[in-house]
Amino acid sequence: MANILGGIATSHTPTIGFAVDTKKQDEPSWSPIFEGYAPMKAWLEKGKADVIFYIFNDHMTSFFIDHYSHFALGVGETYPVADEGGGPRDLPPLKGHPEMAAHIAQCLTTEEFDLSYFQDKALDHGCFSPLSAILPYEPDWPAKVIPLQIGVLQSPSPTAARCFKLGQALGRAIRSFPEDLNVVIASTGGLSHQVHGERCGFNNTEWDMKFMELLEKDPQALTKYTIADLVKLGGAEGAEIVMWLVMRGALNPQVRCLHKSYYLPSMTGIASLIFEPEESSTPALDTEWYNKRAYAQLEGLEDVEGTYPLTLKSGVRAYRINKFLHQLIRPEFREAFLNDFDNCADSYALTDEEKTMIRERDWQGMIRYGVIFFMLEKLGAVTGVSNLHIYAAMRGQTIEEFQQTRNAQVTYSVAGKEKLNKFA
């Protein structure tokens, strides 16, 4: 079973990444940042975590208000560095852990936390700024990362109490993962700061100290604070420290604080903490019972014949071809697809097998491969094949044979106004 080595907490201000990139380690104004991180760096190196579960918030870079959610779990294989206006930082992409992420998703869903899932998204300074100061990254990062993006920027946002409960469930989810992996839980954000409005530049060191003290010794007390309390005490953007409660909830009720640092150079109190679980307070967990309950919703699904559910596993495995077909919702891509399929497919690095399935309209082959039916529907609409033809092909029937199984013999498609008459 997976083991939680401990938790770390750090601010994620872009200052940290800037200091790393411009090699400010020895400059007096900057060196306290690196001194604060040195014990964390050493602890991470000693612990040799296989996976870092990394809690952060994006800053309207890859997660925008066109679709904003509370808890977005990274389930993919890789996460590049985001471009926040001046090109991405020169860091290698992070590698994910899709298997553990899928298990965590299954467990948290069972514990009634409704997550959203993402892959193929670039991550911004909320993720990479502190990571680049606490882990070596050349030629590659030493651990896999499962990111959890929390939507703390738009109200209503998750409460402190909800974040703590999520952490408690997360702890059970990780500890029930049936592989002997060492996991570190990293939480980021804060401490006190405000970057907008007349109150811009607000800090409250006294509150920052109290927050860190309570986080270690009495995290339940922090769950009583409202978002408004946190904004008043720590500034509007400083209220993102609710994310630290996810990490704390995932650890044992009692922890040992191995390291604590704080430095306020400019806008944000830059802090770092290391907690290790106090073994004597490890909550009991019957992992066999827990996993049976977590997977109960899916029990027997594999016995349903001719059925290929979209899962996180198939969604990650067949992501490339699904993404390619999803582009068919864009008129300019449809044109490129119809005019020069091979060139279009090559630009998405489709394999020969994937290209052949699409070229030959191998509807059932694509379903078995992990293509989502609603991508086939779009492909049909673009290439002049009705839904009924696709249904028939998947059953190995002619359109006439399939239509005989319906009450009315009709055809239709999702093709819109461009092609309405073709399917009428």
Residues tagged active-site: 125, 193
For 385, the token pair is 């094949």
How far does Cα 139 stand from its chain's mean position? 23
- CB 173 within 8 Å of CB 100: no
Do 385 and 362 touch, CB atoms closer than 8 A? no
Helix (H, G, I), strand (E, B) or coil at 236: coil
Element (H, E) at 182: strand 182-188
Q: For the chain, how many helices (H) and strands (E)?
A: 20, 10
Pairing type for strands 144-150 and 51-56 reads: parallel
Residues in CB range of 61: below 8 A, 6 or more apart:
82, 84, 122, 124
Contacts of 418 (CB under 8 A, 6+ apart): none
Closest CA to 120 of 61, 74, 69, 60: 74
> With contact defined as beta carbons under 8 Å apart, do 269 and 191 qualify?
yes
**Nearest by Cα to 293 from 161, 71, 116, 112:** 112
- Helices 242-250 + 160-175 axis angle, to 10: 30
HEC letters along 22-87: CCCCCCCCCHHHHHHHHHHHHHHHHHCCCEEEEEECCCCCCCCCCCCCCEEEECCCEECECCCCCC
Other beta carbons less than 10 A from residue 67's beta carbon: 8
C-alpha span between 257 and 276 (Å, rounded): 7
